[in-house]
Amino acid sequence: MQHESEIRTPLILGNKSYHQISEDIARPIEGKSTKLWYILLTISAILFLWGIACLSYTIGVGIGVWGSNNGVAWAWDITNFVWWIGIGHAGTLISAVLLLFRQKWRMGINRSAEAMTIFAVMCAAIFVTLHTGRPWLDYWLFPLPNQFGSLWINFNSPLVWDVFAVSTYFSVSLVFWYTGLIPDFAMIRDRAVKPTFKKIYSILSFGWGGGARHWSRFEEVSLVLAGLSTPLVFSVHSIVSMDFATSVVPGWHTTIFPPYFVAGAIFSGFAMVLTLLLIMRKVYRLENYITIKHVEYMNIVIIVTGSIVGVAYLTELFISWYSGVEYEQYAFLNRATGPYWWAYAAMMTCNVISPQLFWFKKLRTSLTFTFIMSIIVNIGMWFERFVIIVPTLCRTYLPSSWNMYHPTFVDIGIFSGTIGMFFTFFLLFTRYFPVIAQAELKSIMKSSGQEHKDKRAH
């Protein structure tokens, strides 16, 4: 049982009983969907379908339908990939790192954050697999024994490291998420009255019995997976950053990238968690579980990581100047003052300046402001990846090859398609999956004698 100091605001408000929690969590699954849910699902699904159409067009005709070109060979594809992967990081951080640090407040949000991770990595995977010229040969990137002779993959290539990093990350995250879901599925199963419903959830819950042995194993697996996931939080984006850092391209070839990418990833991930949760708590009336406290904590994480990112930006500028290398210096000068200065300005404003507003308590506890900020931060982080990729490639060593990049409707279509896919999956998740880890949550209720304490206080 959780022992909390009296002066601390409880993590769950509203004096919930165990049953009430079960009721609250199961309500969206057992009840009827709201109109709002249908509207959102329709919009997301349309976007998703449009994305599928654009993807099919790309696969059918060639990636020439994008705006990428010989100078800017990567553009929105890799921008979106890094963006989505970054967003995924918050989920793992919340569930694994905060678990290890015994931050109990994470329990209100970890389930949906992890779901977000899974869906975000799926979106990222779309870009990383389909950005190749011949995606049907992508399996050549895996070290598969083959009949092509002694052909093997190039372990020097950061793209190969990416393959390992992302696939490991996805599978571990998925297992971790699902493990946590098992007791909750069992709860739904136990409450279910309709036979098919019961059947489905009994399959999903893997025959969970709720016995002490089950709980013991559950706790052990959770801890082991948390241990496994924790390094992944740092490794995945470090490795993604090495796609850039190990190259010779001025503006990419910087050792600061790994920490800076990880901080940026957590930054954008928390912003995305906030975007999702602020909607969800309203729609599913989960205000008692996802409280202002949660929002404030996350906003603090955003200030910290946002500041780290800001320092990284400035460090980059300083180091490029300090290096004395013409190309390095120009690469950064070009980001800020070149033809894509507006992207750099957007990045700086959204990522460095605006999060500093959270120093004001009033602002960081305001839900509306937080919601707007969460979106601004993600716009800023998208621009950060865009700034790293496109303006850098636009102007590399030989000025004769400098050129511009313009996205096509397909680029935009696929990106909005992944957003559609992400929300479609997330909406389905909120409808059919327990959105809060109720089993864990029940462990932090201030139940023992709480009522008596309350009475005495009056």
Partner 1 sequence: MATKKYWKGLEELKNSPEFVKNANNEFAEQVSVEAFLGDNNLAVNTGTDRRDFLKFLGFSLVAASLAACETPVNTAIPYVVKPEEITPGVANWYASTYFDGRDYASILVKTREGRPIKISGNPISKVTNGATNARIQASVLSLYDSSRLQGPTINGKADTWSNVDKEIAQKLAAITNKAGSIRILSSTVISPSTKSVIADFTAKYPSTKHITYDAISYAGITNANAKVFGQAIIPSYKFENAQVIVSIGADFLVNWIENFSMPYAKNRKVSKDKKEMSKHYQFESNLSLSGANADERIPVKVSEHGKVAVNLYNEIARLAGIQSIPSTKLPCDAIIKKVASDLYNNKGKSLVVCGSNDTNLQLIIIEINTLLGSYGKTIDMETPNYLNQSNDKEFADLTSEMEAGKIDAIITYNTNPVYTAPGSLKFAEAYNKVPLRISFADRADETAALANYICPDHHYLESWNDFNPKKAHYSLSQPTIRPLFSAVDSGTRQAQETLLKWSGSSVAYYAYIQKIWADKVYPMQGKYMVFSEFWNNSLHDGAIEVGNGLEALPSNTKDKSQQPIVEIKEEKKLPEQINLKEIANKINSLNSSEIELALYEKVGMGNGIQANNPWLQELPDPISKITWDNYVTMSPVEMKQRGYKLMERQDREASVVSITVNGTSIELPVIPQPGQALGTIGIAVGYGREKAGKLSLQTGTIIGKNAFPFISMLDGTFNYSAFDVKIENTNKTTEIAGTQVHHTLMAREIVKETTLEKYLKDPKSGNKDEMLITHAGPKKAATIDLWDEHEKLGHKWGMTIDLNSCIGCGSCVIACGAENNVAVVGKDQVMKTREMQWIRIDRYYSSDMNKDIASEVGEGAIDMYLDMENPSTANPKVVFQPMMCQHCSHAPCETVCPVLATNHSSDGLNHMTYNRCVGTRYCANNCPYKVRRFNWFNYNENKDFTFNPSQDDLGRMVLNPDVVVRSRGVMEKCSMCVQRIQKGKLDAKTAERKLVDGDINTACAEACPANAILFGDVNDPSSEISLLRKREENERNYFILEELGVKPSVSYLTKVRNCDETIEEGKSNKKNSETIEA
Q: Residues in the site for partner 1, rule: CB under 8 A?
A: 61-64, 67-74, 131-134, 137-138, 140-141, 148, 151-154, 156-160, 163, 243, 246-249, 326-327, 329-330, 333-334, 337, 339, 393-404
d(CA 171, CA 156): 24
In a 13 Å sphere around the CA of 425, the CA atoms on its Cβ side amount to 17
Please, what is the minimum distance in Å from the beta carbon of residue 403 to partner 1? 4
The smaller minimum CB distance to partner 1, of residues 61 and 223, is found at: 61
The smaller minimum CB distance to partner 1, of residues 278 and 404, is found at: 404
Got the DSSP string for 366-428?
A: -HHHHHHHHHHHHHHHHHHHHHHHHHHHHS-S-GGG-------HHHHHHHHHHHHHHHHHHHH
Please, what is the minimum distance in Å from the beta carbon of residue 189 to partner 1? 41
The smaller minimum CB distance to partner 1, of residues 337 and 450, is found at: 337
The smaller minimum CB distance to partner 1, of residues 295 and 393, is found at: 393
Please, what is the minimum distance in Å from the beta carbon of residue 51 to partner 1? 20
- Name 106's Cβ contacts closer than 8 Å, sequence gap at least 6: 94, 95, 98, 99
Please, what is the minimum distance in Å from the beta carbon of residue 325 to partner 1? 8
Whether 186 and 25 have beta carbons less than 8 Å apart is answered as no
Provide the CA 196 distance to its chain's centre, in angstroms.
33
SS3 143: coil
Tokens of 322: 């300090």
The smaller minimum CB distance to partner 1, of residues 284 and 313, is found at: 313
Which of left, alpha, beta for 210 (phi over 0: left; psi -120 to 50: alpha)? left
Please, what is the minimum distance in Å from the beta carbon of residue 141 to partner 1? 5
Whether 63 and 133 have beta carbons less than 8 Å apart is answered as yes
The smaller minimum CB distance to partner 1, of residues 1 and 137, is found at: 137
Please, what is the minimum distance in Å from the beta carbon of residue 249 to partner 1? 6
DSSP state of 141: G
The smaller minimum CB distance to partner 1, of residues 263 and 393, is found at: 393
Please, what is the minimum distance in Å from the beta carbon of residue 126 to partner 1? 15
Residue given tokens 């011949």 in the structure block: 134
